[in-house]
Amino acid sequence: MANTSQPMRRTALLASAVAVLGLLTACGDDSGTSSAPRPSGAVEASRTAGPDSGTTTAPAVGAAPGDTGGSASASVRTDGRCHTSALSAAVGRVDPGAGQRNFPIVLTNTSEGTCTLYGYPGAAFVDASGKQLGPDPRRAPASPQTVTLAPGKSAWAGLSFSSPQISGARTATPAALLVTPPDEREPIKVTWTAGEVPVGGNASSVSVTVLDAGTGP
């Protein structure tokens, strides 16, 4: 009987040791040494968190770089003035009278928008090489008014000088008249076909008037 009970006692002790070992292993897992993966819901919440959470949100679909969601319309600022590039120039038919030769200088709006002219045009006679003949015309006293030109509409100014045969001034025959719109620097070249003009002996012999609506008097 003594020999039979001893092996059974050893078996019971071995079983108790295995049970204790299993209990220690289970306690180790609960202590956090081996953690399970985070639920997918936690990851999704991190992606959709707002600005207060410190995360960065992606821009809306279709937004341009730097777009904050507001709309900004591009606008082109213009002063409304007729620039040289928007105009054509011509010299009308001579209107003689009382020893004078009078020509309308006509500026026409060739653009697709409305613009304005105010004041006197510049005028200069030049030879074939582009050299100016005579002094700049004097400005006839007047009160300028704004002339509004719709597309295709014109304004005119009078260019006048005494007939050289009467004034006795030194003359030349220009190749062109350079017409500069008010407040512009770039002139428009118009072929001159009206013969000789005074270029010396009387600095005031050529005059120009303010611009007015239309193509002539």
Given a contact cutoff of 8 angstroms between Cβ atoms, the answer to whether 216 and 92 are in contact is: yes
Compute the distance between CA of residue 122 and CA of residue 188 in angstroms, rounded to an integer: 10
- CATH placement of domain 84-213: 2.60.40
Q: What is the pLDDT of residues 173-213, one digit of tens each?
A: 999 999 999 999 999 999 999 999 999 876 668 999 999 99
pLDDT tops 80 at residue 30: no
Strands (DSSP E) along 79-164, which ranges?
A: 87-91, 95-97, 100-109, 115-117, 122-126, 138-139, 147-149, 154-162
What token pair was written down for 213? 């609506």
pTM (two decimals): 0.63
Alpha helices (H) along the chain: 2-28, 40-47, 164-167
Domain boundaries, the chain: 84-213
Chain centroid, CA 87 distance in Å: 20
Highest mean pLDDT of the ranges 53-57, 105-109, 205-209: 105-109
pLDDT tops 90 at residue 114: yes
pLDDT tops 70 at residue 24: no
pLDDT tops 50 at residue 37: no
Given a contact cutoff of 8 angstroms between Cβ atoms, the answer to whether 115 and 80 are in contact is: yes
More confident call, 199 vs 21: 199
Q: What is the pLDDT of residues 58-78, one digit of tens each?
A: 333 333 333 333 333 232 235
Angle 158-80-210 from CA coordinates, rounded to 5°: 15
